[in-house]
Amino acid sequence: METKTFAELGLSQKVQAAITAAGYANPTPIQAAAIPVAVTGRDVLGIAQTGTGKTASFALPMITRLETGRARARMPRSLILAPTRELAAQCAQSFEKYGVNHKLDVALLIGGVSMDDQVKKLDRGVDVLIATPGRLLDHFGRGRIMLMGVEILVIDEADRMLDMGFIPDIEKICKLLPPRRQTLFFSATMPPEITRLVNQFLHDPERIEVAKPATTAKTITQSFRFCPDSEDWVKREMLRDMIRADNVRNAIIFCNRKRDVAILLKSLLKHGFNAGALHGDMDQTSRMETLDKFRNGDITLLAASDVAARGLDIPDVSHVFNFDLPWQSDDYVHRIGRTGRAGKQGIAQSIVTHDELKSLKDIEKMLGEDVVWIGTPPTEQDFADAGKRRRGRGRGGKPGASRDGGRRDGARGEGRRASGGGRGERPAAAPAASQPASERTATRKDRAPREEARSEPPREGARPQQVAKPPKPVAAAKREDRPAAPPPAPRTRAPRPQEPESTKAAVGAFAGNVPAFLRRSSRPAKAAGE
The candidate with the shortest Cα–Cα distance to 133, out of 190, 184, 97, 87, is 87
Give the strand order in the sheet containing 319-322: 275-278, 301-304, 251-254, 319-322, 346-352, 220-226, 373-374
Contacts of 477 (CB under 8 A, 6+ apart): 524, 525
Contact between residue 119 and residue 89 where contact means Cβ atoms under 8 Å apart: no
Are residues 13 and 139 both part of a single domain? Answer: yes
List phi, psi (to 5°) of 453.
-70, -30
Which CATH number goes with the domain that contains 52?
3.40.50.300
Give CA–CA dist 183/41, Å, rounded. 9
Whether residue 527 lies inside any domain: the answer is: no
Are residues 161 and 33 both part of a single domain? Answer: yes
Whether residue 521 lies inside any domain: the answer is: no
Give tens-digit pLDDT for 54-109: 889 999 999 999 998 888 888 999 999 998 888 898 899 899 999 999 888 999 99
Give CA–CA dist 264/233, Å, rounded. 9
Whether residue 140 lies inside any domain: the answer is: yes
List phi, psi (to 5°) of 368.
75, 20
pLDDT score of 217: 67
Are residues 248 and 135 both part of a single domain? Answer: no
Contacts of 350 (CB under 8 A, 6+ apart): 222, 223, 224, 225, 321, 322, 325, 332
Q: Can you give the length of the chain in residues?
A: 530
Whether residue 410 lies inside any domain: the answer is: no
State CA 329 to chain mean position distance. Answer: 18
Contact between residue 33 and residue 44 where contact means Cβ atoms under 8 Å apart: no
297 burial via Cβ count (<10 Å: 0-12, 13-18, 19+): exposed
Domain enclosing residue 305, as ranges? 220-392
Beta partners for residue 47, in sequence order? 187, 209
List phi, psi (to 5°) of 519.
-75, 140
Give CA–CA dist 338/220, Å, rounded. 10
Are residues 224 and 98 both part of a single domain? Answer: no
SS3 461: coil
Are residues 16 and 127 both part of a single domain? Answer: yes
Are residues 291 and 350 both part of a single domain? Answer: yes
The candidate with the shortest Cα–Cα distance to 197, out of 178, 211, 183, 210, is 183
Are residues 198 and 228 both part of a single domain? Answer: no
List phi, psi (to 5°) of 286.
-65, -40
Are residues 168 and 229 both part of a single domain? Answer: no
pLDDT score of 165: 86
Domain boundary among 392, 426, 443: 392
CA-to-CA separations, 428 to 156, 197, 414, 418, 435, in angstroms, rounded = 69, 70, 18, 14, 12
Contact between residue 310 and residue 87 where contact means Cβ atoms under 8 Å apart: yes
Whether residue 142 lies inside any domain: the answer is: yes
State CA 351 to chain mean position distance. Answer: 20
The candidate with the shortest Cα–Cα distance to 338, out of 372, 308, 362, is 308
Are residues 55 and 188 both part of a single domain? Answer: yes
Contact between residue 208 and residue 47 where contact means Cβ atoms under 8 Å apart: yes
Domain boundary among 345, 363, 392: 392
- The DSSP bridge pattern shows strands 78-81 and 152-155 to be parallel
Give CA–CA dist 186/44, Å, rounded. 8
What secondary structure does DSSP assign to 464-497, as a single string?
Answer: HHHTTSTHHHHHHHHHHHS--PPPPGGGPPPPPP
Contacts of 240 (CB under 8 A, 6+ apart): 268, 271, 273
CA-to-CA separations, 181 to 53, 95, 125, 175, in angstroms, rounded = 24, 20, 19, 12
Are residues 268 and 375 both part of a single domain? Answer: yes
Domain boundary among 363, 392, 421: 392
pLDDT score of 399: 39
Whether residue 489 lies inside any domain: the answer is: no
What secondary structure does DSSP assign to 222-255, as a single string?
Answer: EEEEE-S---HHHHHHHHHHHHHHTT-SSEEEE-
- The number of domains in the chain is 2
Contacts of 216 (CB under 8 A, 6+ apart): 49, 222, 333, 336, 337, 348, 367
Are residues 242 and 384 both part of a single domain? Answer: yes
pLDDT score of 414: 38
Whether residue 67 lies inside any domain: the answer is: yes
Buried b (16+ CB within 10 A) or exposed e, 444-475: ebeeeeeeeeeeeeeeeeebeeeeeeeeebeb
Give CA–CA dist 207/47, Å, rounded. 8
Which parts of the chain have pLDDT scores under 70? Answer: 1-4, 50-51, 211-217, 307-313, 342, 387-530
Whether residue 102 lies inside any domain: the answer is: yes
Are residues 373 and 248 both part of a single domain? Answer: yes
Helix-, strand-, coil-residue percentages of the chain, each rounded to 5: 45, 10, 45
Contact between residue 304 and residue 255 where contact means Cβ atoms under 8 Å apart: yes
